[in-house]
Chains A and B, each alone.
Chain A
């Protein structure tokens, strides 16, 4: 049974890397060490994504959505993107950060449907040039090339019938080399 873990955390918009330790002391009660400062936290799940969190007797209603090691945390109307990594994952990430150039896969940032593709496989594009048009909620959004290069592969087929060309957030749209 895991009861104690050490983590490295990053928060979008904050420079620092936070070293943390979490220990489960009792049922739902945790001792959390943030950069050497210890806090007692009582953590209860209210429903699918809302939690009641009492830290040192201060009460917070917190919304958490989890995507792997990424957490989107909403507190008092503020939204934070927190990444929680253990030793291993931190090392892997440090390695992965070096040398990510060349091929780039463009993913959909929002759900919608691909109404039109403006470029074909093999076309040369400049950074910022629209490659396809995604329609969501009556609005057209240009999906632009993130860099200069050649379209290597297109994963979606455009159609005016939304049923045939629906994409979700994170779906691969095209590869640029």
Chain B
């Protein structure tokens, strides 16, 4: 594998810039790709070369595999996929291999393996990673199924084998409810997916989403970079993450990290990856899935370990060894990430694209901002609503929360709505502060009224501000209407006057 001298990021926005930053630091040249809609996006300016991959403005799609790989080949660049788009796309990796373009990421076979839910589960079980107890095969005999449920213990979930989107899924609390739940869920699945096959899974009470960041190289080395808690989610999308998890015990952490790095070694996994686990209230943990990409929330891990994950990915792609040994990785302090979405939290997180009339990012100590926006930037309608991520760190969790509040208070955005008010409410929420929150947090423990609650109960300040602004606007329009006649007479009036004059003579 050759030395990487140039990197093309097949992505946009903040993640493209994040990867370019490491490249610039390492003296590696950078190539951006963009669509017509993204001509003015900041990643285009950050890179030293930029190639448009769309034919016209009506095409807003970044998925131009052949074009992107050709640009990389012609410019002599390796490709980093970022997250989304071509990340976790095995075909893309294979095409890169065929064209002799270095892909900065895992092997195609591992992407394929982890892309299949059942394949990933089986591979992980073989590698000694615990998975959620349940049946592997569709239920054929109801009595047999009930016996399995008794063995793994209620409550359980019935899930459609070919299901998705919440259809054909039932929560079963006790055995008496099993028959009717099975009947209705199976018929629902049959109607929706054309197949009524169901399987059983243990229902995890108060589930926490905890993940382990891992790295593997082509020399068979594997290590973990500790854990992240990502239980604050809306629409199954993460909003706030922290590292380390405030919920799991040291003992659980040790077990999870060990299991994860062993699995990576056993699989021969190469590059950065993440094992996602669901952790129950009783600290039992089960493998959910493996993300075979760099994740949005990787900066908090970088903040507590000091490891530049993108740099390691580049080195691994060059065929080098990871530059650390496991015993050199230490946890230092606590870090939190808030994702800044262009959306309105008080209107059910509805998207809010538009022109950023004001955009000031926070400064000062203990802050890290990765942003894909700037003042005067029109956030396009066509892409992900995440415009930036903000991270804060400190020695303790309390310190990191205090820092984050200070940092967010300096984040000033006008022209669009953002998730910043939501973050403030969460950072003040008692359940969040206690450190024991599960994935049901936004639905169950978060009072949406908190978003409306104001720091100042007295509206004097906004009243004064608005009234003065109104007076000044009235002054400006009064001045305008006064000066207008002096600008000059309208041509129509002059025409009329001339006509009158002509008629008279």
Contacts and interface: CB of A to CB of B under 8 A. Distances in A.
A137 B383 contact: yes
Nearest to A161: B58
Contact of B468 (A43, A60, A110): A43
A interface SS class: strand
Contact of B412 (A7, A9, A63, A164): A63
A77 interface: yes
Given A9-B466, A162-B58, A75 B351 contact: no
Contacts of A75: 456, 461-462, 465
Given A1-B475, A137-B342, A163-B57, A73 B452 contact: no
A109 B454 CA distance: 24
Contacts of B343: 137
B382 interface: yes
A113 B380 CA distance: 11
Nearest to B344: A110
A49 B471 contact: no
A96 B420 CA distance: 36
A124 interface: no
A69 interface: yes
A154 interface: no
A109 B343 CA distance: 12
A62 B465 contact: yes
Interface string B52-88: 0000011010000000000000000000000000000
B452 A7 contact: no
B470 A69 contact: yes
Nearest to B478: A2
Contacts of A175: none
Contacts of B461: 53, 55, 60, 62, 73, 75
B463 interface: yes
A113 to B, nearest CB: 7
Interface stretch (A78-86, A98-106, A125-133, A144-152): A78-86
A158 interface: no
Contact of B466 (A64, A79, A138): A64
A32 B464 contact: yes
A137 B468 contact: no
A113 B381 contact: yes
B459 A11 contact: yes
A53 B460 CA distance: 12
Nearest to B482: A1
A71 B420 contact: no
B353 interface: yes
Contacts of B454: 78, 80
Interface string B224-239: 0000000000000000
Contact of B455 (A41, A53, A76, A112): A76
Given A112-B351, A112-B353, A77 B420 contact: yes
Interface of A: 1-2, 5, 7, 9, 11, 13-14, 18, 20, 22, 24, 30, 32, 34, 37, 39, 41, 43, 47-51, 53, 55, 60, 62-66, 69, 71, 73-80, 82, 84, 109-113, 135-139, 141, 161-164, 166, 169
The 10 closest A-B pairs by CB, nearest first: A73-B462, A71-B466, A137-B351, A80-B462, A82-B466, A136-B351, A78-B454, A84-B470, A137-B385, A163-B58
Given A32-B463, A63-B358, 17 more contacts: A2-B478, A13-B452, A22-B471, A34-B464, A39-B460, A48-B357, A48-B358, A50-B414, A53-B464, A65-B415, A71-B465, A80-B462, A110-B353, A112-B381, A136-B350, A136-B381, A166-B381
